[in-house]
């Protein structure tokens, strides 16, 4: 669930805007957080971030770098996720993601590169025209045909 706070105290830091509660349906056979659930949450978080940065609701996942699950979470734990843009390309946006367990205070994973591409109505990459991060709501793509 996404926090609506719009201020970024430290522009160099990732903001952990999104939190999740680990529920029974998110567990693997080991009784810990299922990696697939976590990846779905991260992909959704990255999609929302990319849409708000690129001003285009047609932003799709192109590339995800190595994922190393360094610790996990148990049922009832609270986890928090943070995404930050690291590179604005011509049609792409590269982001870094971090997830940590709020209960154990341990990092769960870091993904160095998640690349989304801005597409036009034909599914073809389209220049987004942006080169820096917005912390406001100025690029929200209000219009959908």
Ligand X SMILES: CC(C)(COP(=O)(O)OP(=O)(O)OC[C@H]1O[C@@H](n2cnc3c(N)ncnc32)[C@H](O)[C@@H]1OP(=O)(O)O)[C@@H](O)C(=O)NCCC(=O)NCCS
d(CA 113, CA 145): 31
* Non-local CB neighbours of 36 within 8 Å, separated by 6+ positions: none
d(CA 142, CA 43): 22
Q: How many CA atoms lie within 13 A of 109 on its CB side?
A: 19
Burial class of residue 47, CB neighbours in 10 A (0-12, 13-18, 19+): middle
86 binds ligand X (CB under 6 A): no
Listed ranges 5-13, 27-35, 45-53, 85-93: which one lies at the site for ligand X (CB under 6 A): 85-93
Q: Considering the complex, what minimum distance in angstroms separates the CB of residue 89 from ligand X? A: 2
x/- mask, ligand X, residues 61-80, rule CB under 6 A, reads xxx-----------------
Candidate residues 48, 89, 107, 133; the one interacting with ligand X per rule CB under 6 A: 89
54 binds ligand X (CB under 6 A): no
Q: Considering the complex, what minimum distance in angstroms separates the CB of residue 81 from ligand X? A: 19
Q: Considering the complex, what minimum distance in angstroms separates the CB of residue 3 from ligand X? A: 26
d(CA 115, CA 111): 11
> Could you list the residues that contact ligand X (CB under 6 A)?
60-63, 89-92, 115, 117, 119, 123, 125
């Amino acid at each position: 669930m996404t926090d609506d706070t719009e201020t970024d105290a430290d522009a160099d830091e990732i903001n952990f805007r999104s939190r999740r509660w680990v529920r029974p349906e998110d567990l693997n056979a080991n009784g810990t957080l299922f990696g697939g659930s976590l990846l779905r949450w991260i992909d959704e978080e990255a999609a929302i971030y990319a849409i708000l940065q690129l001003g285009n609701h047609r932003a799709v996942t192109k590339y995800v770098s190595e994922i190393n699950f360094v610790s996990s979470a148990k049922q009832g734990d609270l986890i928090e996720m943070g995404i930050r843009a690291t590179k604005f390309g011509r049609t792409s946006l590269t982001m870094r993601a971090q997830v940590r367990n709020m209960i154990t205070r341990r990092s769960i994973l870091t993904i160095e590169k998640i690349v989304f591409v801005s597409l036009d109505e034909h599914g073809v990459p389209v220049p987004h025209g942006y080169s820096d991060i917005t912390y406001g709501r100025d690029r929200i793509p209000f219009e959908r045909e």
